[in-house]
Amino acid sequence: MNSTSDPAAADGRPSEITVMIVDDHPMWRDGVARDLAERGFRVVATAPDAPAAVRIATATRPRVVLMDLNLGQTQGVVAISEILEGLPDTRILVLSASGEHQDVLDAVKAGASGYLVKSASITELVTAVQRTAAGSAVFTPGLAGLVLGEFRRVDTGGSGGRGVEQDDPGLRLTERETDVLRLVAKGMTARQIAARLVLSHRTVESHVQNTLRKLHLRNRVELTRYAIERGLTEDP
């Protein structure tokens, strides 16, 4: 991982974010933990494999679990599902050497909030952990488009339709709420969305909260997953 200067604060100060690192390579695991700790994050635990990850996460309740997918006999996707079953408010960010499409899809389907490849710089990693803790979906550039395209294909059955049932609550969203939803699902922050749509930051947050209420969802991760699964992320 490249050693570069820290980014400007994203969503949430590092000192307020608890992180757990899961990787079966001790040198990599310890190196990432050291890099994040040096930048102010509270690294509360590390784990070498999936069973340990589930057990230790349950005990330490980190805000973000930074996890590799290749964890020996038990794959990371299993640990993702099991951790989230017991800790639904924890966010899981995959950090993997693999950028294979199927690996990304499997991780997202299991509940991961985002996916970075290990070639990411420390600057990118720090920003990704902060944004993941704040509830954003974060992907290495190019991977978000793959995920969105695959879910559109599955949900529409290859017919080219939007794949939304007529009684879907997403149909009750206003045009502006739908615009904001698309950009949230692409991993943009509220300030980035405000700049894109020429709105105030407060107005964007209001649209997000209204959308969450209408869809009966709790946070932006669930909102992103809803948008992907319903094919609501297509550009107008």
The burial of 51, by beta-carbon neighbours within 10 Å (0-12 exposed, 13-18 middle, 19 or more buried), is given as middle
* Domain final residue pick, 108, 141, 174: 141
Separation between Cα atoms, residue 189 and residue 198, nearest integer Å:
14
Inform me whether the pLDDT recorded for 65 exceeds 90. yes
Are residues 229 and 155 in contact, defined by beta-carbon separation less than 8 angstroms? yes
Q: How confident is the model at residue 52 (pLDDT cuts 50, 70, 90)?
A: very high
Q: Which domain CATH number covers 74?
A: 3.40.50.2300
pLDDT in tens, 109-129: 888 888 998 888 999 999 999
Give the model confidence (pLDDT) of 150-159 as tens digits: 554 544 444 3
Boundary residue ending a domain (141, 174, 203) = 141
In a domain, 155, yes or no: no
Tokens standing for residue 236: 């107008």
More confident residue, 235 or 54: 54
pTM of the predicted model, to two decimals?
0.63
Order of all β-strands in the sheet with 42-47: 42-47, 18-22, 64-67, 91-96, 114-117, 138-139
Residue ranges making up the domain that contains 200 = 165-230
Considering the domain architecture, whether residues 69 and 169 belong to the same structural domain is answered as no
Tally of domains in the chain: 2
